[in-house]
Amino acid sequence: MAAPRESFHMTSDEFRAHGRAVVDWVADYLDRVGDLPVASAVEPGAVRAALPPAPPERGEPFAAMLRDLDEVVMPGITHWQSPNFYGFFPCNGSGPAILGDLVSTGLGVQGMLWATSPAVTELETHVLDWVVDLLALPERFRSTGAGGGVIQDSASSATLCALIAARERAGAPYGTLAGYTSTQAHSSVEKAWRVAGLDPANLRQVPVDAAFAMRPDALATLLAADVEAGLRPTYVVATVGTTSSNAVDPLPAIAAALVGTNAWLHVDAAMSGTAAVCPEYRWIHDGLDRADSYCFNPHKWMFTSFDCDAFYVADRAALTRALSIVPEYLRNAASDSGAVVDYRDWQIPLGRRFRALKLWFVIRHYGAEGLRHHVREHVALAQELAAWIDADPRLVLSVPPPLNLVCFRHVEGDARTQALLDALNGTGEAYLTHTRLGDNLTIRVSVGATQTRREHVERLRALVDFHA
């Protein structure tokens, strides 16, 4: 009978060997992902049905995991990294991001306090200051003044944190607080409002103009009516690049409408903020210098693997006052000195990964030059596709695309649009998702996957031409 094992851990040599196998597996995957049908075709329950009902009593060889990854998991994967993925939003990972995140997982350190690993906090603060340069963001968001940046998991969480800060800054009974966002804002605004315990009846959906951007005149009217009714305008979320159509809310006019209120202006540029790496697209941020907070997602269009939302505040004290709770077991000399940032107080959870590493690797690998190149390429491809759609009598371009999201429908109406969408997705050669704009079912083409090149968008055009 064998002696009891002393350790079940993977040895260093095993880790090196299996690690190489996984690196090659990922590389092979990214090499072939463009040839795979984009969307998974599995039926509900099919993946589970192929898995053993109970966990193993004895450990299994690593090769068994890789085998099941190929045989059981992969059929259930919709390929967000495919060059033919145009759905939802770009979620464009990249080599340097994947490897930066691997270092983070390997280090396995916590960044909840400066003291729990000082480099986690300092690199994050520093790289987010770099991003202020990269995107020419307002100086008020730099950590060297009263503001600063922090990495959140997602824009949803940034929206919630900004709302909590706004709610506390208002200093009024919660039932009297009113919020404002456009009818086109992301669903996370409504979700944050609900989570924060505020009255759903006091969250206004501001009407939009023909380009689906918030109407500042309508906002002003709502503000005046609420003040008249005894409510306190507390939180306004403007969107730079809406989910449905990439509409850009007019920040200067929105900020002007807020003069005289104490409302917190949060700007959600999750999907489109990255465009500001290019000077010619920086107009999307006009007026941002009057915002209290801002976020965009490097995990959406800046080649930084999910999750990485860059969230900035102009007054970090307003945020940390709302979110700081200090139990004895987290007290330490560095925090007590006030000389350091403790990111625990900038977010909802306590624990936090070393996420700055992947963003740091990405910025250094591409340089500003490389990021600009690929953003310009995506925008150019989207614009060409839009021009072609606009010229086709069978198709209606919903709006002139500001950047890299093209929205269109079939001229014959919703049923025909749905049939076109189904036909396109049915080919497996492209994946697109839908929305409604005004009364119309609308097909969205989000151009921003890492591997998307001219040949892929031209193939999409041919498919649309054939099925329209």
Shortest Å, Cβ 251 to a copy of itself: 23
Identify the bridge partners of residue 59 per DSSP, sorted by sequence position: none
| 208 close to 183: Cβ distance less than 8 angstroms | yes
Shortest Å, Cβ 134 to a copy of itself: 5
- DSSP-derived pairing of the beta strands 433-437 and 405-410: unpaired
Q: Which of 35, 51, 438, 455 binds a copy of itself (CB under 8 A)?
A: 51
Q: Which of 34, 83, 84, 101 binds a copy of itself (CB under 8 A)?
A: 101
> Does 434 participate in binding a copy of itself (rule CB under 8 A)?
yes
Q: Which two tokens stand for residue 377?
A: 């390429």
Give the residue with the Cβ less far from a copy of itself, 175 or 252.
175
> Does 368 participate in binding a copy of itself (rule CB under 8 A)?
yes
- In the region spanning residues 268 to 287, those forming contacts with a copy of itself, defined by CB under 8 A, are none
Shortest Å, Cβ 269 to a copy of itself: 16
| 158 close to 164: Cβ distance less than 8 angstroms | no
Beta strands in 354-457 (DSSP E): 395-397, 405-410, 433-437, 440-446
> Does 126 participate in binding a copy of itself (rule CB under 8 A)?
yes
| Interatomic CA distance for residues 338 and 328, integer angstroms | 16
> Does 181 participate in binding a copy of itself (rule CB under 8 A)?
no
- In the region spanning residues 135 to 164, those forming contacts with a copy of itself, defined by CB under 8 A, are 153-154, 156-157, 160, 164
Shortest Å, Cβ 260 to a copy of itself: 26
| Residue 394: other Cβ atoms inside 10 A | 13
> Does 452 participate in binding a copy of itself (rule CB under 8 A)?
no
| Interatomic CA distance for residues 167 and 26, integer angstroms | 44
> Does 361 participate in binding a copy of itself (rule CB under 8 A)?
yes
Q: Which of 35, 63, 67, 118 binds a copy of itself (CB under 8 A)?
A: 118
| 405 close to 382: Cβ distance less than 8 angstroms | yes
- x/- site string to a copy of itself, residues 8 to 47, per CB under 8 A? xxx-x-xxx-xxx-xxxxxx-xxx--------x-x-xxxx
The closest of 400, 403, 399, 402 to 440, measured between CA atoms, is 399
Could you tell me the CA-to-CA distances from 274 to 78, 278, 403 in Å, in that order?
Answer: 24, 8, 11
> Does 418 participate in binding a copy of itself (rule CB under 8 A)?
no
> Does 86 participate in binding a copy of itself (rule CB under 8 A)?
no
| 389 close to 395: Cβ distance less than 8 angstroms | yes
- In the region spanning residues 316 to 335, those forming contacts with a copy of itself, defined by CB under 8 A, are 322-323, 325-330, 334
> Does 56 participate in binding a copy of itself (rule CB under 8 A)?
yes
Q: Which of 34, 83, 84, 94 binds a copy of itself (CB under 8 A)?
A: 94
Give the residue with the Cβ less far from a copy of itself, 257 or 359.
359
| Residue 195: other Cβ atoms inside 10 A | 15
| Interatomic CA distance for residues 331 and 351, integer angstroms | 15
- x/- site string to a copy of itself, residues 208 to 237, per CB under 8 A? ------------------------------
From the list 104-112, 213-221, 229-237, 408-416, the region that binds a copy of itself by CB under 8 A is 104-112
| 285 close to 251: Cβ distance less than 8 angstroms | yes
Beta strands in 365-439 (DSSP E): 395-397, 405-410, 433-437
Size of the site for a copy of itself (CB under 8 A): 149
| 167 close to 177: Cβ distance less than 8 angstroms | yes
| 357 close to 96: Cβ distance less than 8 angstroms | no
Give the residue with the Cβ less far from a copy of itself, 261 or 451.
451
